[in-house]
Chains A and B, each alone.
Chain A
Amino acid sequence: MATLRIKFRPLPAASFAGLAGFILLASCLGYGQAVNSCLDCHSAQPGRLEVTPEKFSQDIHAQKGLTCVSCHGGDATSYDPDQAMSRKAGWKGKVDRRQIPQLCGSCHSNPAYIRQFDPSLRTDQLDQYHTSVHGKRLAAGDAKVAVCIDCHSVHDIRPPSDPRSTVNPVNVAKTCSRCHSDAAYMKQYGIPTDQFAKYNISVHHDAMVVRGDLSAPTCTTCHGNHGAAPPGVDKVQNVCANCHAFQAQMYEKSTHYKAFQAASLPGCVVCHSNHGIHLPSDAMLGTGPGGVCMKCHAPGDRCDRARVAILSNLTQLDGAIKDADQALHLAESSGMEVSEARLAQDQARDSLTKARVTIHTFQPTLVDQDVQAGMKIAAANLKAGKDAMVERNHRRIGLGICFIAIAMMLIGLWLYIRKLES
């Protein structure tokens, strides 16, 4: 009988087993993925030195293939701290705050480099930053001012379109407020710190946060982002005009424009304020607590008379629209079809809105034109509502006559049946 003899040789067998084990282990551990020794150590570091793989994986840069080395230098493939963080390997260590804009700009100001990731991304952030108050102060040696990471965060920088981003439109005001609402931090600059509190009660905040309109203004809309600076006193209307174009055009042709410029008054802000802008109301033209005109004008002067005329016109149209609404509502609740007049009410409301915009000309005759157009529509709608009620009454009279006729027929039939069966 033939026997198979295997000669056992310990060394080659151990080598083979070791290689097989290594291959198996490497497969399990995902060998072949990029090694990042920085995260292995820093995920266990305390406080500000802690950067976990989970946190860094959220960063847009990590998602685009950049690593710690891209900003900090060094050798991320080495698990030897001396080698990984050696100057020889280009390690920069913690980047100095003053150098951060320059560091970020080394990529973000390079159109050829940025184009390969996002061709539409702007590359003028650093140039803009140099023109900003933050940039100028930094250049002057003030390291307290905001640099890129103060607004964009660090190691978990998300694109602005991400709702979790610190520079997403919804979060911008809060991000700015981290410094600008800190009275102690801002003390040396001598500027107010109530902007965020005021913004939170403004119509713009309401539009942005409550109504979710991301096109509504936040800090950067008026002040700029990378080139953030207070708008100049004579440039305020240019800022507001980005959205409120008609109002700005009218204002620039008005008598107020020249007067405000001569007095170095900041345009729109004089009546509407800046950070705490409330929804404008006709009360702003009044003499009550919300009134703004009489802060500058004297009672009975030419401008006061214009104010009274404009306010009276607006009140008249507002009242006419409400009367028409009431009449149409009554008709509707009586089952009458008045949807066309209901739709036309929107045109009357549009006229009122237009008249409220035309106020910025400060010319009663121009406001009156819009008001009269609205009055004509509101009057027609009021008539439609009243006509519907008259029609409703006619219908009920008709119904009464029909009831009488039906009752007579029923009585007649009943009598006939009785006669027939008697």
Chain B
Amino acid sequence: MFAPLIRWLDERIHLDDLIAPFKHKTVPRHRLSYWYFFGGITLFLFIIQVLTGILLLLYYRPGANEAFESVQYIMTRVQFGWLIRSIHAWSANLMIFTAFVHMFSVLFLKAYRKPRELTWVTGVILLVLVMGFGFSGYLLPWNTLAFFATKVGTEIAGQVPIIGKPMMIFLRGGEEVTGATLTRFFGFHVAVLPGLVVVLIAIHLFLVQRQGMSVPPKVEAEWAANPAARREMKFFPNFMLREMMAWYVAMGVLGALAAIFPWNLGVKADPFVSAPAGIKPEWYFLFMFQTLKMIPSKVWIVDGEVLGVLGCSLAGLLWLLLPFFESDKASRAKVWITGLSIFALVYVIGMSVYGYVAN
């Protein structure tokens, strides 16, 4: 049915030449191949975010007096509005989850090593931007929890020495969280962040396509010892079809979450009431939040919060530069990085759980 159309396009833009690299590209096939799918699932969820986000934009009105009501309208009056909003909210959370899984899988499979340092760097920056999506998007329904979470979150940003206060005022659009903050966050959420993320995803994918999939060192060693064991599959269509299966599974999970647990709207934000007791950020910020909570108010002569924010920033920077600490040669660094990776995973999960159950 599509053959005449494809032929027509091929005559004009040489379609075959364009897809030729994908036809020749292969993907290593081994017992850990399934970890490769998480990057693709994250991309799929991002596409869902863009599509549902565009649909939400048809009705959403940014503004302290209209935002909550417009989301309420979407949830109750717009045909399938509840589904679009719930999918948008759930896929945001799933996207951050799969991005974390993807990052740790890359870490444990040592896929960040030379020559893939830039892929890791772009990936970590993408994760930060995706969390920025979560932070800015959380405020948009203008409900009580979002209002106070933003207040606390921007206050933490304000703790950074020297640039903290101006940065907090820039984020809030003033001294306090107001309608100006909402408008600003809306701008970040629908214009600034998507632009940055699309560029970085393009670079990330280009690097993945250019450098191919990394093979874990253990599998590599096994293949070196027994070359007959080396197995590959074509990227197109074999890997793509498997990836599509993963996307369908992700779609099923997303649909189930959205239909069975529609995303709660909450109560409209009232800046004049006190913050709800035991307010906590979204789950993906919990490990950092709990860390800051556990640092004493004064450590020697340094303010605890400042120390916490600086510590987290330094840890983030080291995380970003992680591939550059590992060399090709067998060294202590390799063991050290593996140990650090395990510690980071246990720490993130442990502190998130502790933050969730702690009062």
- Chain A residues at the B interface, C-beta cutoff of 8 Å: 335-337, 339-340, 395-396, 398-399, 402-403, 406, 409-410, 413-414, 416-417, 420-421
**Using Cβ atoms and an 8 Å threshold, which residues of chain A touch B82?**
337
Q: Could you name 8 residue pairs across A and B whose Cβ atoms are closer than 8 Å? A: A335-B262, A336-B262, A339-B72, A339-B267, A399-B256, A403-B252, A413-B245, A417-B238
Complex Cα spacing A398 to B258, Å: 12
B30 within 8 A of A: no
B118 within 8 A of A: no
Interface centre among B72, B237, B259, B260 (most CB of A within 10 A): B259
Contact A399 B72 (CB under 8 A): no
Complex Cα spacing A336 to B82, Å: 9
B344 within 8 A of A: no
Complex Cα spacing A413 to B265, Å: 37
Which of A335, A340, A410, A421 is in CB contact (< 8 Å) with B76?
A340
Contact B259 A337 (CB under 8 A): no
Name the distance in Å between A404's Cβ and chain B's nearest Cβ: 10
B251 within 8 A of A: yes
Complex Cα spacing A396 to B257, Å: 11
**Using Cβ atoms and an 8 Å threshold, which residues of chain A touch B252?**
402-403, 406
In the complex with contacts A335-B264, A337-B76, A410-B259 CB distance below 8 A? no
Complex Cα spacing A336 to B242, Å: 35
Contact B262 A399 (CB under 8 A): no
Which of B241, B259, B265 is in CB contact (< 8 Å) with A339?
B265
Encoded as 1 (CB less than 8 Å from any A CB) or 0, chain B from 220 to 249 comes to 000000000000010001100110110011
Which of B76, B237, B242, B255 is in CB contact (< 8 Å) with A402?
B255
Name the distance in Å between A332's Cβ and chain B's nearest Cβ: 9
Which of B242, B245, B260, B264 is in CB contact (< 8 Å) with A399?
B260
Complex Cα spacing A420 to B238, Å: 8
**Using Cβ atoms and an 8 Å threshold, which residues of chain A touch B255?**
399, 402-403, 406
- Chain B residues at the A interface, C-beta cutoff of 8 Å: 72, 75-76, 82-83, 233, 237-238, 241-242, 244-245, 248-249, 251-252, 255-256, 259-262, 264-265, 267
Contact B261 A335 (CB under 8 A): yes
**Using Cβ atoms and an 8 Å threshold, which residues of chain A touch B249?**
406, 410
**Using Cβ atoms and an 8 Å threshold, which residues of chain B touch A417?**
238, 241-242
Complex Cα spacing A337 to B249, Å: 27
Contact A416 B241 (CB under 8 A): yes
**Using Cβ atoms and an 8 Å threshold, which residues of chain A touch B245?**
410, 413-414
Contact B251 A406 (CB under 8 A): yes
Name the distance in Å between B197's Cβ and chain A's nearest Cβ: 27
**Using Cβ atoms and an 8 Å threshold, which residues of chain A touch B260?**
335, 396, 399
**Using Cβ atoms and an 8 Å threshold, which residues of chain B touch A416?**
241
Name the distance in Å between B67's Cβ and chain A's nearest Cβ: 15
Complex Cα spacing A406 to B253, Å: 11
**Using Cβ atoms and an 8 Å threshold, which residues of chain A touch B244?**
413
Name the distance in Å between A252's Cβ and chain B's nearest Cβ: 40
**Using Cβ atoms and an 8 Å threshold, which residues of chain A touch B265?**
337, 339
In the complex with contacts A413-B241, A420-B237, A406-B262 CB distance below 8 A? no
The chain B residue with its CB closest to the CB of A411 is B245
3 closest A-B pairs (Cβ-Cβ)?
A399-B259, A337-B75, A335-B262
The chain B residue with its CB closest to the CB of A338 is B76
Complex Cα spacing A406 to B244, Å: 11
Name the distance in Å between B302's Cβ and chain A's nearest Cβ: 41
The chain B residue with its CB closest to the CB of A335 is B262
Contact B248 A409 (CB under 8 A): yes
Contact A421 B238 (CB under 8 A): yes
Name the distance in Å between B166's Cβ and chain A's nearest Cβ: 38
Which of B72, B233, B241 is in CB contact (< 8 Å) with A337?
B72
Which of B72, B242, B267 is in CB contact (< 8 Å) with A340?
B72
Complex Cα spacing A402 to B257, Å: 13
Complex Cα spacing A409 to B247, Å: 11
Complex Cα spacing A335 to B72, Å: 14
Complex Cα spacing A224 to B251, Å: 73
Name the distance in Å between A280's Cβ and chain B's nearest Cβ: 30
Name the distance in Å between B74's Cβ and chain A's nearest Cβ: 9
**Using Cβ atoms and an 8 Å threshold, which residues of chain B touch A410?**
245, 248-249
Name the distance in Å between B238's Cβ and chain A's nearest Cβ: 7
Complex Cα spacing A413 to B239, Å: 12
**Using Cβ atoms and an 8 Å threshold, which residues of chain A touch B237?**
420
Complex Cα spacing A403 to B72, Å: 28
In the complex with contacts A340-B72, A403-B252, A421-B238, A398-B259 CB distance below 8 A? yes
Complex Cα spacing A402 to B80, Å: 15
Given contacts A335-B262, A339-B72, A410-B249, 10 further A-B contacts (CB under 8 A): A335-B261, A337-B76, A337-B82, A337-B265, A395-B83, A396-B260, A403-B252, A410-B245, A413-B245, A417-B242
The chain B residue with its CB closest to the CB of A402 is B255
**Using Cβ atoms and an 8 Å threshold, which residues of chain B touch A396?**
259-260
Complex Cα spacing A320 to B205, Å: 60
Complex Cα spacing A395 to B245, Å: 24
**Using Cβ atoms and an 8 Å threshold, which residues of chain A touch B242?**
417
